Structure 1
Amino acid sequence: MVTAPRPLHIVHTEASMGWGGQEIRILTESKGLMERGHRVSVLCAEGSLLQQQAADYGVVVTPLPIGRKGWRGLRAISRWLREHEPDVIVTHSSTDSWLTALAARLRSRPIPVIRLRHISAPVTKNLPTKWLYGTLSQHVITTGELICDMLVEYNGLPREHVTAIPTGIDLEQFQPGEQRQARAAVGLPEDLFIIGIVATLRSWKGHLYLFDAFSKMATPNMRLLVVGDGPEGPDYRKHVHQLGIQEQVLMVGQQRDVVPWLRAMDLFCLPSYANEGVPQALMQAMACGLPCVTTTAGSMGEIVYHGRNGLLVPPKRSDLLAQVLLNLAEDPVQRDLLATQAAQDAKRQFGLSHMLARMEQQFYAVLP
């Protein structure tokens, strides 16, 4: 008789103070793993946004002094591991990865560590980093195949040491809906054509290029809906005013539930130029049945196939972006075709259960 794998005690660590797709994946994955019968602990930096948001996901987190590298953080993690004895640890940012991997390795009974790399920025090529990724970590998981290839080809990791497991999304939550009802819910008029973006206001998400593109192609009945907040917010508002489009750009800040905002859009645009894996916002927009325009940055081309379920433009080309957006805005037939295919592809590929099952498989694979 085959015995089912035992439930695990899984730990996620995160030193980041910010909020974005990386932190959302940690909490979403933790919630999903708990629903599958596992015990999950999340160790985060004291005062972080992840700590503040965790209750919305039903996840209990433990704040520790791991916001920066140092003996205090190393001692805190070592003490916590000694008291709780988890089966496997998943680290997410550089600082917590170093602290946790060292703490796990210094024990008499080492705990297997998985390094999860979310973004496509190159990993520093030096001996300490190779030691962290190749020796201190039993396996490396990335959010896209491109990131795997970079770690293998540029950093010299063995291919069998790296696995791509894109983030999954809740397809019961993110699905097509009635636009009129969504606009009424968020207070937007029915008679506008709305181009939208959902993203943290960080430089590499490409908002400035979208603002510039919108200023070149906007008609009086168009609006640009910007959902999200972040460090670049004040500068972006200033830029919008300098372009003279402040009456047509709706910056609504961070929203707890982005579904009605997505459903209120006519098309979605994410013009990132760096660092992306497979962005959750792009997956969510596709799952909601939106025609999407994005770039070839990171692993976005692994889910968007140009002319089939979305459109791809080169990064940092606001002139081309403006032309593509305007052409699509004037072509309802193409928008419908792209949207229908995007929703079908999302339903087949982006489910949360697929990600959770693959993560589980990798956890069991690294156990001693």
Structure 2
Amino acid sequence: MKLLITVSDQVWGGKHTYMYALISELRSLGHDVVIAAESNSAFSARVRQAGFVVKEVSSFSLSDNDQIGQLSGCVEGCDAVVMSGRRDFAAMEEIIPASVVSVLIRHSAFPLDDDVHTRRRIASLDLLIVTSEEQRFNQFEFLERAHPVPKICVLRSGLREPFFEALQLVDRHQARKELGIQDEKPLLLCVARLSWEKQIDSLFRSFAHVVSVRADARLVLVGSGPEEPGLRKLADDLGVANQIEFLGHRDDVTTYLKAADIFVFTSGVAETGPLALKEAMAAGLPVVADAVGGISEFITHEHNGIFVSSEKERTGQILRVLEDSDLASFLAQEALKTARREFRFEGRVREFSRLLERCLLAKQSDGSLLRELAWDGVRVRKEDFGGYLFAPRTSHLMEIRGEIFDVVADSVRVNDPTILSPVCNRTELLVSIHDMGALVRPGSETPDYFGL
């Protein structure tokens, strides 16, 4: 499939990490991926360096007719447009033709405008992707009353195999040595954008109380943002400036994760599924996190992490983990088990790819997508009424009647889905065959429908 992926904003954030992983995996599945991103943005530079085709726009502005025309040109020939931000969603509204699959991925803790126009735009999508169940309920509950109701799915953030491999290559002792941290000194780590909603000021106040008990504690802060000057002043006012190190944005955080003793996550908004927290768990770190948003969907208090709801509680729990090595070890081991079991991103992208295929099959009348698919080891059995189609990998069985079964059987016999073209006007049949796991991308395993 030819996919246009639109990504707004100049500064790199969690959304961009998510989208970069998504487009990388989509390309590995054989999709033709084109990126529309803001000129001179961090995302544009990163994806261009990775070899993607990038169409740059000034700012996804609705008032720029030249830009709208440029975006219209990007859509030509595409099978699907995947939008990822508030501004690119607004800009693409009038551009995407009915024949093209329209998808919106929402990562943000901040809801879209709650007005009739926005609700209609969302309801008109072919597919809406959210990144947590909490986000689905709190931001899009109104869709239950929409008509027609768009398909809405949860596609949680996750980690790709190269990240797990990179962690294995980092030596903890060497990582601490590079940071100037002696092995017995406690090191706290926070990876976050330095913006108001992350409440790093609250973390600093908690850390100051930690230092009053453990004077040898250090805090490393990885990230950049508009709050940095104020945070530096606050650290000085609290008397902990010498114990806090500002490292700025880092593309690779594995060294800092392996060097740390505790990962601390703070936020004042309903986070949907912060990737930094999942990376810390994958590194086998005990985590102390604010109990907000969808975080409880992958962290269980006192099992694979610690939840807190105030500065005082955060201070107490950090000191508790530092002083109780058995607790720290238990939390770390359970966090690592959770990460290895639940955070793999590749399978989630395969399912997203199948959702795109499903949407396109429902729209197409020429069956052109069938050229990209293959039968997944299916079996056919002829009966008087027609016959059965069986997908062994999913154990799904479909009854197909009349001459249509003969077309399907011929297609299976020579492993050529394009033979189904004469029945492409029966989109419900093709979608059903796809849903049962009978048709897949060549070389792709049938994914677990409940593994998103």
Aligned to 1:247: 242
Q: What is the distance in 1 between the residues matched to 2:349 and 2:249?
A: 26
Instruction: Give the aligned residue type for 2:141.
Output: E
Q: What is the distance in 1 between the residues matched to 2:44 and 2:16?
A: 10
Q: What is the distance in 2 between the residues matched to 1:267 and 1:60?
A: 40
Query: Where do 1:73-152 residues align within 5 Å?
Result: 73-82=67-76, 85-105=77-97, 110-135=99-124, 137-152=125-140
Q: What is the distance in 1 between the residues matched to 2:157 and 2:45?
A: 22
Change (3 A) 1:236 1:337: same
Where 2:218 maps in the other structure, the secondary structure is strand
The CA deviation at 1:154 is 4.7
Where 2:105 maps in the other structure, the secondary structure is strand
Query: Where do 1:265-284 residues align within 5 Å?
Result: 265-284=260-279
Which digits, 9 at most, give the CA deviation of each residue in 1:274-306, with x for residues without a partner?
041101101100001000111221211111110
Instruction: Give the aligned residue type for 2:269.
Output: A
Q: What is the distance in 2 between the residues matched to 1:184 and 1:363?
A: 47
The CA deviation at 1:198 is 0.7
Of residues 186, 191, 209 in structure 2, which corresponds to 1:216? 209
Change (3 A) 1:157 1:226: farther
Q: TM-score, normalised by structure 1?
A: 0.91
Where 1:300 maps in the other structure, the secondary structure is helix
Change (3 A) 1:346 1:57: farther
Q: Which runs of 5+ in 2 are unaligned?
A: 364-452
Change (3 A) 1:61 1:146: same
Change (3 A) 1:152 1:97: closer
Where 2:190 maps in the other structure, the secondary structure is strand
Q: What is the distance in 1 between the residues matched to 2:20 and 2:133?
A: 23
Residues 1:350 and 2:343 are matched in the alignment:
yes
Q: What is the distance in 2 between the residues matched to 1:235 and 1:343?
A: 35
Where 2:224 maps in the other structure, the secondary structure is coil
Q: Is the 8 A contact 1:286 1:342 kept in 2?
A: yes
The CA deviation at 1:172 is 4.0
The CA deviation at 1:157 is 5.8
Query: Where do 1:251-262 residues align within 5 Å?
Result: 251-262=246-257
Of residues 131, 140, 157 in structure 2, which corresponds to 1:167? 157
Change (3 A) 1:123 1:195: same
Q: What is the distance in 2 between the residues matched to 1:60 and 1:239?
A: 43
Change (3 A) 1:293 1:30: same
Q: What is the distance in 2 between the residues matched to 1:113 and 1:142?
A: 14
Aligned to 1:290: 285
The CA deviation at 1:55 is 4.2
Which digits, 9 at most, give the CA deviation of each residue in 1:144-168, with x for residues without a partner?
1111112342565657631111012
Q: What is the distance in 2 between the residues matched to 1:166 and 1:211?
A: 29
Q: TM-score, normalised by structure 2?
A: 0.74
> Max radius of gyration: which structure?
2
Give the fraction of aligned pairs with identical amino acids, expressed as a percent. Answer: 24
Change (3 A) 1:104 1:166: same
Residues 1:305 and 2:300 are matched in the alignment:
yes
Q: Is the 8 A contact 1:171 1:347 kept in 2?
A: no
The CA deviation at 1:123 is 3.0
Q: What is the distance in 2 between the residues matched to 1:155 and 1:237?
A: 44
Q: What is the distance in 1 between the residues matched to 2:258 and 2:49?
A: 22
Q: What is the distance in 2 between the residues matched to 1:161 and 1:124?
A: 20
Change (3 A) 1:235 1:98: same
The CA deviation at 1:183 is 1.7
Q: What is the distance in 2 between the residues matched to 1:201 and 1:59?
A: 29
Q: What is the distance in 1 between the residues matched to 2:258 and 2:317?
A: 21
Query: Where do 1:15-54 residues align within 5 Å?
Result: 15-54=8-47
Q: Is the 8 A contact 2:158 2:344 kept in 1?
A: yes
Where 1:103 maps in the other structure, the secondary structure is coil
Q: What is the distance in 1 between the residues matched to 2:11 and 2:157?
A: 18
The CA deviation at 1:186 is 4.5
Instruction: Give the aligned residue type for 2:177.
Output: A
Q: Is the 8 A contact 1:104 1:113 kept in 2?
A: yes
Where 1:173 maps in the other structure, the secondary structure is helix
The CA deviation at 1:264 is 0.6
Q: Is the 8 A contact 1:31 1:59 kept in 2?
A: no
Q: Is the 8 A contact 2:126 2:150 kept in 1?
A: no
Change (3 A) 1:225 1:68: same
Q: What is the distance in 1 between the residues matched to 2:130 and 2:290?
A: 20
Which digits, 9 at most, give the CA deviation of each residue in 1:62-110, with x for residues without a partner?
211234332333222112223xx111111011110111232003xxx53
Q: Is the 8 A contact 2:268 2:292 kept in 1?
A: yes
RMSD value, Cα: 1.8
Where 1:17 maps in the other structure, the secondary structure is coil
Q: What is the distance in 2 between the residues matched to 1:32 and 1:225?
A: 31
Q: What is the distance in 2 between the residues matched to 1:157 and 1:129?
A: 15
Q: Which runs of 5+ in 1 are unaligned?
A: 1-7
Q: What is the distance in 2 between the residues matched to 1:204 and 1:215?
A: 20
Q: What is the distance in 1 between the residues matched to 2:49 and 2:220?
A: 25
Q: What is the distance in 1 between the residues matched to 2:359 and 2:307?
A: 38
Change (3 A) 1:202 1:342: same
More contact order relative to length (CA 8 Å, sep ≥ 6): 1
Instruction: Give the aligned residue type for 1:133.
Output: I
